[in-house]
Amino acid sequence: MQYKVFIAVEFKGLNEEAHKEIAERLEEHGLEKIPTVSSAWEYTCEAEDETDAKDNAIQTFVNVVRTYPCEMGLVVQAGTSQILRRKKKFDA
């Protein structure tokens, strides 16, 4: 089944150039920037259920961002399932 996952993200400790690079890489991985909200993305994926869709979205974000030293806070929502809140810290 196909799901659309909403992701709001906050980065701490990133410069403007890193923000641009991350945005480009996220788009390469199938995430679409939501233009009306400065730090929101939509991820469309095939998944077994809403929980699996959210896990896929989080994993994609982590795979892109982990090479940049920063702290990342995520809020992830798919369908009617529980909203997930995650915080990750990546070191250089």
Contact 33, 75 (CB under 8 A): no
Percentage of the chain modeled with pLDDT above 70: 99
Domain map (residue ranges) of the chain: 2-90
Span 6-45, pLDDT tens digits? 999 999 999 999 999 999 999 999 999 998 888 999 999 9
Distance (Å, whole) CA 50 – CA 56: 10
Per residue in 59-91, pLDDT (tens digit) is 999 999 999 999 999 999 999 988 999 999 999
For the domain covering 2-90, report its CATH number. 3.30.70
Give pLDDT, residue 18: 94
